[in-house]
């Protein structure tokens, strides 16, 4: 098994705690499914949110999915002029047999425009 990093992001329609939990939960589920991972494969997960998101911590969505024994941390993205609004990004460190090239980075909806080079 190797330690790999998996990226992902989702743009929220609005700053609402329930909407955030739903969308971030969908993102995490897609990351796990597309990479044939289970929560036990997670080493740690780093979440960032753009400065316009205040309603909840993105990590709360992971806890809601039952990811309870994995270190999680949230941080605020840089406030860059012209950047996409209402975005939650994920950087997950995982144990997997996949090669670096085999990792599926997941960018849902409009967030796919953020990393066209790695979004799958």
12 near 109, Cβ under 8 Å? no
What are the strands, taking DSSP E only, across the chain? 2-11, 42-49, 72-76, 87-96, 106-108
2-11 confidence digits (pLDDT tens): 999 999 999 9
Distances, alpha carbon 14 to alpha carbons 10, 91, 98, 99, in Å: 12, 22, 35, 36
Task: Return the SS3 of 17.
Answer: helix
- In angstroms, the CA 109 to CA 81 distance is 21
Which class for 2: exposed (0-12), middle (13-18), buried (19 or more C-beta within 10 A)? exposed
11-48 confidence digits (pLDDT tens): 999 999 999 999 999 999 999 999 999 999 999 999 99
What are the strands, taking DSSP E only, across 15-97? 42-49, 72-76, 87-96
67-89 confidence digits (pLDDT tens): 999 999 999 999 999 999 999 99
84 near 32, Cβ under 8 Å? no
């Amino acid at each position: 098994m190797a330690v790999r990093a998996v990226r992902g992001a989702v743009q929220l329609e609005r700053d609402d705690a329930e909407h955030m939990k739903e969308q971030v939960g969908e993102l995490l589920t897609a990351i796990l499914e597309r990479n044939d991972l289970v929560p036990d494969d997670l080493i740690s997960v780093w979440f960032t949110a753009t400065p316009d998101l205040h309603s909840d911590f993105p990590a709360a969505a992971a806890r809601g999915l039952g990811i309870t024994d994995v270190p999680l941390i949230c941080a605020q993205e840089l406030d860059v002029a012209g950047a996409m609004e209402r975005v939650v990004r994920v950087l997950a460190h995982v144990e997997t047999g996949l090669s670096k090239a085999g990792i599926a980075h997941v960018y849902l909806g409009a967030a796919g425009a953020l990393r066209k080079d790695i979004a799958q």
